[in-house]
C-alpha cells in the first residue's frame, strides 16, 4: 500500500478526513447530514448561495428534511461556500449535481463537466473524487478521468476516482441515506479500496463492483426497470379502461401471488429526477454501439403520452356535465411528482396544468407541500395553493387528483366536487361523480 493511499485511508477510517459535498440538493444535503452526524468535518459547495444561507440560518429548503437537522449540521461545524478554491483542503470530493436532458432529450452533462472544470485547478495528491450524479455508462472514464489526468495526476496512485450512484428516495421513512445499500465502483482496485473506506463509515452496506462503468450501468438498470414496468401498467390501464375494468383492483388481486409478480402502479406520467430521464441516457449511449433500445424507448413513449391521455379523460368528465375544457375551472390536487413531498422535478402534474391551460382551462392547484408555485425551467404559473374546503371545491367544474397526498380528505373532496378525475386510484370503481384516469 502506497504512503499516499495509506494516509488517505487512515483519515477516512478514523473520521479525520474532510468531506466535500458539491451540490446541496435532494442528494447532497442528506449526504452532508449523514457524514456530519458521525463526526466528519463537512464542507458544502453550491452555486446557489441561498441554500448555504438557509443552512447557516437553520431553515430547511427541502420539506422532508426538518430545520432541526440543518441547525445540528451547522453546530457540527459545517461550512458552506460557492468558492471552489477550498477544494485543496478537502480529502473526499463527492459530486451530487443535476444531470438533466436537453431539449433534444439527450444527456446534458454541463453541470458535471462545469463542476470538474471549476475544481480541477485545486486538486492535490491524496484525494478521492466520487461522482454520484446519474449518468450513462462510461461518463466517469470519459469525462472525469481525462480532466484529472490533465492536471498531472495518476489515478489510482496519487488520486482516486470512483462512481457511486445516489439512491435517495425523498420522503421514504423506511430507508435512509445510511440504510440504503450503496454501490461503488473504482477506476482501479486502489480506487475501489479507497471508495470502500469513504462510504463504509457512513453507509451500513457498501456493494463493491468491478468498475465505474458497472456502477453507472447498475443505476441505469434500476431506473429503467421501474420505467419499463410503469410503462407496462400504464398501457394495461388504458386497455382496462376500455374494458370497463378497474386496473387498481386487478393489481391488488395479482399482488396476492407470493411469487413471480411485483406490483407497479399507473399514474398520470413519470416524475422525479431519475425515472423520466435515466432511460434516455442509455438509449443515447447505446446508439454509439449501433444498438436501438426499442423496448426502453417504447416504455418512454407510453409514459410520456400519459398526461395527454389524462387530459382526454378530463374532457370526458366535463362532457358528462355538458362542458368543454375551454373556460372550465379545474383544480389540480397535488403538484409534486409523488405524494407527501415537495419535490416537483419532472412532475407530470405540472405538465397536466400546462396542457389544460393551453386548451383554455382556468387552472389552479392545491398542494399542502407546495404553498407557492416555484420557479421552473419549463413552466411559469403565478399561483399559490388553494385551501381545500367544501365551499372552495364547489367553485370548480372539475377536480383532478394528480398526486395523492395523504393530507387530502378524499371523502370530503368527492362529496363536494361536481366531478373528480382520479389518476391515482384513490376511489373504488363505480363511485358517483368520479372518472378514473
Residue 242, pLDDT above cutoff 90: yes
Say what the pLDDT of residue 64 is. Answer: 86
SS3 state of residue 233: helix
Residue 170, pLDDT above cutoff 90: no
Summarised one tens digit per residue, pLDDT across range 184-231 is: 999 999 999 999 999 999 999 999 999 999 999 999 999 999 999 999
Average pLDDT across the chain, whole number: 94
Q: Average pLDDT for residues 263-278, to the nearest whole number? A: 85
What 8-state DSSP symbol labels residue 141? I
Residue 1, pLDDT above cutoff 60: no
Closest Cα partner for 345 from 426, 269, 412?
A: 269
* Percentage of the chain lying above the pLDDT 70 cut: 100
What is the topology classification, in CATH, of domain 230-436?
Answer: Rossmann fold (3.40.50)
Q: Average pLDDT for residues 83-112, to the nearest whole number? A: 92
Q: CATH code for 3-209?
A: 3.40.50.720
And the C-alpha cell for 14? 478514523
Say what the pLDDT of residue 60 is. Answer: 93
Q: Average pLDDT for residues 141-147, to the nearest whole number? A: 97
Say what the pLDDT of residue 23 is. Answer: 97
Give the global pTM: 0.90
Pure H helices in 359-424: 390-393, 410-416
Q: Is 96 a catalytic residue?
A: no
- If pLDDT is split at 50, 70 and 90, which confidence band does 108 have? very high
And the C-alpha cell for 100? 438533466
For 139, residues 6+ apart whose C-beta sits below 8 A from its C-beta are 109, 112, 131, 163, 216
Q: Average pLDDT for residues 261-286, to the nearest whole number? A: 87
For the beta carbon of residue 229, count every other beta carbon within 10 angstroms: 15
Backbone φ, ψ for residue 73 (5° rounding): -60, -45
Say what the pLDDT of residue 270 is. Answer: 86
- Contact indicator for 413, 393 with CB cutoff of 8 Å: yes
Residue 272, pLDDT above cutoff 90: no
**207 DSSP β-pair partners:** 183
And the C-alpha cell for 260? 413471480
Q: Where are the domains of the chain?
A: 3-209, 230-436
What 8-state DSSP symbol labels residue 105? S
Say what the pLDDT of residue 105 is. Answer: 80
Residue 171, pLDDT above cutoff 70: yes
Q: Which of 18-22, 68-72, 376-380 has the lowest mean pLDDT?
A: 376-380
- Whole-number Å distance between alpha carbons of 137 and 159: 21
Catalytic residue among 34, 96, 191, 274: 274
Pure H helices in 388-430: 390-393, 410-416
- Whole-number Å distance between alpha carbons of 306 and 326: 20
* Percentage of the chain lying above the pLDDT 90 cut: 88
Q: Average pLDDT for residues 308-321, to the nearest whole number? A: 96
Residue 169, pLDDT above cutoff 90: no
- Contact indicator for 128, 162 with CB cutoff of 8 Å: yes
Amino acid at each position: 500500500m502506497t504512503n499516499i493511499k495509506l494516509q488517505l485511508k487512515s483519515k477516512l477510517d478514523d473520521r479525520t478526513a474532510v468531506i466535500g459535498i458539491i451540490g446541496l440538493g435532494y442528494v447532497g444535503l442528506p449526504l452532508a447530514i449523514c457524514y456530519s452526524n458521525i463526526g466528519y468535518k463537512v464542507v458544502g459547495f453550491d452555486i446557489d448561495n441561498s441554500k448555504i444561507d438557509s443552512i447557516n440560518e437553520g431553515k430547511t429548503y427541502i420539506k422532508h428534511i426538518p430545520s432541526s437537522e440543518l441547525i445540528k449540521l451547522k453546530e457540527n461545524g459545517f461550512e458552506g461556500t460557492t468558492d471552489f478554491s477550498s477544494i485543496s483542503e478537502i480529502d473526499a470530493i463527492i459530486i451530487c449535481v443535476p444531470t438533466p436532458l436537453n431539449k433534444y432529450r439527450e444527456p446534458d452533462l454541463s453541470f458535471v463537466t462545469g463542476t470538474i472544470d471549476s475544481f480541477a485547478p485545486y486538486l492535490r495528491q491524496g484525494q478521492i473524487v466520487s461522482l454520484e450524479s446519474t449518468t450513462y455508462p462510461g461518463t466517469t472514464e470519459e469525462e472525469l478521468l481525462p480532466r484529472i489526468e490533465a492536471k498531472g495526476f495518476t489515478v489510482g496512485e496519487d488520486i482516486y476516482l470512483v462512481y457511486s450512484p445516489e439512491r435517495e428516495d425523498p420522503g421514504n421513512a423506511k430507508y435512509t441515506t445510511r440504510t440504503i445499500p450503496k454501490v461503488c465502483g473504482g477506476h482501479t482496485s486502489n480506487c475501489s479500496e479507497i471508495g470502500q473506506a469513504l462510504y463504509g463509515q457512513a453507509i451500513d452496506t457498501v456493494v463493491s463492483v468491478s468498475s465505474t462503468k458497472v456502477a453507472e450501468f447498475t443505476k441505469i438498470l434500476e431506473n429503467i426497470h421501474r420505467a419499463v414496468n410503469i410503462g407496462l401498467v400504464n398501457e394495461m390501464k388504458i386497455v382496462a379502461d376500455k374494458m370497463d375494468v378497474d386496473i387498481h383492483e386487478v393489481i391488488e388481486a395479482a399482488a396476492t401471488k407470493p411469487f413471480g409478480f411485483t406490483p407497479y402502479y399507473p399514474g398520470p406520467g413519470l416524475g422525479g429526477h431519475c425515472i423520466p430521464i435515466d432511460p434516455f441516457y442509455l438509449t443515447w449511449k447505446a446508439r454509439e454501439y449501433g444498438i436501438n433500445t426499442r423496448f426502453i424507448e417504447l416504455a418512454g413513449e407510453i409514459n410520456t403520452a400519459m398526461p395527454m391521455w389524462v387530459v382526454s379523460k378530463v374532457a370526458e368528465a366535463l362532457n358528462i356535465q355538458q362542458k368543454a375544457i375551454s373556460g372550465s375551472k379545474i383544480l389540480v390536487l397535488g403538484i409534486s411528482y409523488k405524494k407527501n413531498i415537495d419535490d416537483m422535478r419532472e412532475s407530470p402534474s405540472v405538465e397536466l396544468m400546462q396542457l389544460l391551460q393551453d386548451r383554455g382551462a382556468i387552472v389552479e392547484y392545491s398542494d399542502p407541500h407546495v404553498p407557492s408555485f416555484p420557479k421552473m425551467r419549463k413552466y411559469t404559473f403565478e399561483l399559490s395553493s388553494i385551501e381545500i374546503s367544501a365551499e372552495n371545491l364547489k367553485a370548480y367544474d372539475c377536480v383532478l387528483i394528480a398526486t395523492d397526498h395523504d393530507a387530502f380528505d378524499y371523502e370530503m373532496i368527492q362529496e363536494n366536487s361536481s366531478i373528480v378525475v382520479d389518476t391515482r386510484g384513490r376511489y373504488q370503481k363505480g363511485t358517483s361523480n368520479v372518472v378514473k384516469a
